[in-house]
Amino acid sequence: MSAALEARDLGIALAGGNPLVERLSFDLTAGRTLGLVGESGSGKSLTAQALLGLLPADRFEVTGSLRILGEAPRNWARLRGSVIAMVFQEPRLALNPRMEVGRQIAEALELHRGMARAEARREAARWLDRVGIASARAEDRPAAFSGGMLQRICIAMALAAGPRILVADEPTTALDATVQAQVLDLVGDLRRELGLAVLLITHDLPLAAQRCDDLLVLYAGRPMESGPTDRVLRRPRHRYTEALIACARFPEEAGTPLAAIPGQVPLVTPPSIPPCVFADRCRFAREDCLERPYTWFPEGHACFHPCGEAP
Amino acid sequence: MILLEARGVRKAYQGRPVLAGVALALEEGRTLGLVGESGSGKTTFGRILMGLERPDAGEVLYRGAPMPPPRTPAWRALRRKIQAVHQDPAAVLNPGWTVQEALEEPFRVHGMSRAERRARIPALLDQVGLPGAVASRRPGELSGGQKQRVVIARALSLEPDLLFADEPVSALDTSVQAQILNLLMEVCRERGMAMVIVSHDIGVVRHMAERTLVLRDGAIVEEGPSQAVFDHPEHPFTRALVEALPRLGGA
């Protein structure tokens, strides 16, 4: 079965500047969730914007190949909403504060599916109901809802026109833990029901581990490791993945020192084709880590002395 | 010895109750966790505990004496002893000031001479694991973790008895969070300083705090040793919190 979205050697750079994302390849498949996991500066949100053609062409250079439903995207205005849709971190910023929420969903239906106003209103009400908001509240404006409810409304708005691909960029980061779980349950249910291909972008490794079939770990704009979630967690190959997993686990005994990665996430993206971007923080780094060019190994990692091999 | 105690604290805003009679007791040198979701009243409770706001009813005692009214001389003296670290270090640090200036400010406010102030900075930076060269930088040139270290250094400068850490690592990268949590544990232990840590991350609270209060709708629904509270939660809300938090399986 072919991928709903196929990215090959995706690169993003500021026009004339250093690359911000480099050599990113992945597939989004119907009915599956890929987790794009990364810390700040990893390029995960830029990647999301590139997938929806949202990066202004006068400022960004996007290279590599991108295929959506088997074709190179040309008419973004037609694709966005009807084929590929996005949910953002801040639902309040994604909605028009002055418009009734039912109307906002109905507009998406009129625009992308050519529905008449009355039909779009009925369909919007059905969608509100589907995401757990009483359809009687269709006339309310965003200010009348909690953050979790607004994110449900955004999900309804994103999915109403029947896209095949959903890109969710930190969709629950701004929500309370119990609400976060409910919203992610909803996304999972809709993925199964509608056969959606989902890209879940998050800084939260435990969250990605719980919700995704596959993981792609980014650091400083480069892919570090990818594979099925279970394999990546149980047998990480890249030393960065291993260290990140250790950071997300608390030791059995309370009050004891936590496993920390020394140093900082790079503030400035390293120049093109660098040696390992994690080498300066890696406790297994050797001299050749700083000299050899970046290499993506066939097993899906970019580490010269992977876990499980003598350092 | 009890350092900070709250009894029957109530607070309402425009007739809407935010805290409906909450209490706590924190011993010197101990760490207490405060857990709750938005609207639970934990921010208000924190402000009352720090003496920034007065409760409508109930009382807050510091070393057994009532918290003095805000902006009185007694209150100012006490404020030195209770310092805070917040979620977003960028919002706390003046972007136009160097780290040196940011760290000197509390000393200046409390009337220390310029020479005396200067002499203290290297040791402060060292204590929070920052190189001396950082002193001449401005916040924009620092990473999130480095900025939070500066904020912690500033909080420590007046040698407080109590550190109020409100989501101290939520805005930081995963790979940097553990560094900052380790630093907080270290400085508390070394100085015998008490800490109240507020976090949405139960793992953080369970690891850092000996005791935890779970706050919901302005009331404490569960309280006890942190491990017992999270490993065997009794209240349905605590159970929901524990179940909602994604975590990686054992190593």
Per-residue pLDDT reduced to its tens digit, A227-265: 999 999 999 999 999 999 999 888 888 999 999 898 888
Is B207 within 8 Å of A250 when comparing Cβ atoms? yes
> Which backbone phi and psi does A79 adopt, to 5 degrees?
-70, -45
Parent domain of B111: 94-159
Q: Report the alpha-carbon angle A250-A255-A261, nearest 5.
A: 50
For chain B, say whether A262 makes contact (Cβ under 8 Å). Answer: yes
Inside any domain, residue B88: no
pLDDT at B44: 94
B223 part of a folded domain: yes
What is the least distance, in Å, from the CA of B67 to any CA of chain A?
30
Q: Which string of DSSP letters, residue by residue, matches A74-129?
A: --HHHHHHHTEEEE-S-HHHHS-TTS-HHHHHHHHHHHHH---HHHHHHHHHHHHH
Same domain, B47 and B152: no
Domain end among B108, B132, B159: B159
**At what angle are helices A101-113 and A147-159 packed, to 10 degrees?**
20
Contact A207 B246 (CB under 8 A): yes
Confidence at residue A270, expressed as pLDDT on a 0 to 100 scale: 66
Q: Taking 80 as the threshold, does the pLDDT of residue B250 lie above it? A: no
Within-domain flag for B3: yes
Q: How confident is the model at residue A19 (pLDDT cuts 50, 70, 90)?
A: confident
Q: B127 to chain A, minimum CA–CA distance in Å? A: 16
B196 shares its domain with B213: yes
B89 located within any domain: no
Q: Tell me, yes or no, whether B30 and B149 share the same domain.
A: no
* B35 plus B118 within the same structural domain: no
| Chain B environment of A231 (Cβ under 8 Å) | none
B227 touching A (Cβ < 8 Å): yes
Residue B86 lies in a domain: no
* Whether B32 contacts chain A with CB within 8 A: no
Higher pLDDT, B142 or A106: A106
Interchain proximity B182–A179, CB inside 8 Å: no
Question: Left if phi > 0, otherwise alpha if psi is -120 to 50, otherwise beta: which for A132?
Answer: left
Percent of chain A surpassing pLDDT 90: 82
Collapsed DSSP state (helix, strand, coil) of residue A255: coil
List of chain A residues whose C-beta atoms are within 8 Å of the C-beta of residue B145: 264
Beta carbons of B246 and A176 less than 8 Å apart: no
Shared domain check, B72 and B150 = no
Summarised one tens digit per residue, pLDDT across range B97-152 is 999 999 999 999 888 899 999 999 999 999 999 999 999 999 998 888 999 999 99
Q: Do the domain assignments include residue B199?
A: yes
Which residue among A205, A250, A251 sits closest to B174, beta carbon to beta carbon? Answer: A205
Number of domains observed in the structure of chain B = 2
Together in a domain, B193 and B220: yes
Residues B138 and B201 grouped into a single domain: no
Residues of B with Cβ-Cβ distance to A249 under 8 angstroms: 248, 250-251
* CATH number, domain containing residue B194: 3.40.50.300
Domain termination residue (choose one: B159, B181, B214): B159
Give me the residue label for tokens 């780290």: B99
Residues of chain A positioned with their CB less than 8 A from the CB of B244: 177-178, 180-181
Indicate if B148 and B43 belong to the same structural domain. Answer: no
> Which pTM value belongs to this model?
0.91
Residue listed under structure tokens 């232990």: B189
The residue from B140, B159, B178 where one domain ends is B159
pLDDT in tens, B148-196: 999 999 999 999 999 999 999 988 888 889 999 999 999 999 999 999 9
Identify whether B200 is part of a domain: yes
Q: Are residues B36 and B75 in the same domain?
A: yes
Q: How far apart are CA A47 and CA A15, in angstroms?
A: 16
B155 and B169 share one domain: no
B123 and B233 share one domain: no
Q: Do residues B77 and B175 share a domain?
A: yes
Spatial separation of the C-alpha atoms in residues B165 and B31, rounded to whole Å = 10
Question: Of B146, B244, B246, which is closest to A209 when you measure between CB atoms?
Answer: B246
Say how many C-beta atoms besides its own lie within 10 A of residue B90's C-beta: 14
In a domain, B53, yes or no: yes
